[in-house]
Amino acid sequence: MRRLPIALTLLAALFVVLSSAKERPGALLPKPALDASPTTARGQRTAVLAGGCFWGVQAVFQHVKGVTSAISGYAGGSASTAEYETVSSGSTGHAESVKITYDPSQVSYGELLRVFFSVAHDPTQLNRQGPDEGTQYRSAIFYSNDEQKRIAEAYIAQLEQARAFPHRIVTQVTPLQAFYPAEAYHQDYAARHPDSPYIAFNDLPKLDHLRELFPSLYKAQRSSAQAK
């Protein structure tokens, strides 16, 4: 979808605006009832999330306070297939993902998930997100320990019980085997191409929603796309 000629891209973007606006996340969801224990000790932890094209997901988390880096990449498949053109075939097992490094004294894992479900993507879309289709665009949480798994599963159950979405949540909760950073030209893509029709219609509204719904978590200066 992202490699169409300019004219077709513009038409696709217009279609998204007119017919898919309701698919965009932008509703403040309840806080997770189960979250990591509060801490005042500064440190670094990581979360790996997949919610469609990694350009927009990266852009959202780069503007969350406490996040020190957000890197676009691939998770769910093998090292030998962690390459954009190959992943785009939809047959590698990879999902376009973002590795988030954060300070748990400033933002919790549960708060990151709240942002993920509220503004970063629509967790009810199966193997697609907005105009992009394929298993590489699936919704997934790749947990790195039992605590992350418990928090993720509990929050999804909480949202389902509250009927937070009109359709069933299809987000996968699966163990992280490895994360592979994407090619350099994918990093900071939304920040470097704000006038791209794809970014303007699909991703910039997510930043507006983040600022409006999470004013205490939003930061104007984006985090790095490099690990600290």
Catalytic positions, written as ranges:
53
Give residue for tokens 């297939």.
81
Neighbour-count burial for 51-66, b at 16+ CB within 10 Å, e otherwise = bbbbbbbbbbbbbbeb
Position 65: which residue type? K
Sign of the Cα torsion 84, 89, 91, 94 reads positive
Position 41: which residue type? A
Q: What is the DSSP letter of 186?
A: G
8, exposed or middle or buried, with CB in 10 Å at 0-12, 13-18, 19+?
exposed
Q: What are phi and psi of 139, to 5 degrees?
A: -90, 125
Cα 15 to Cα 131: distance, rounded to the nearest angstrom: 9
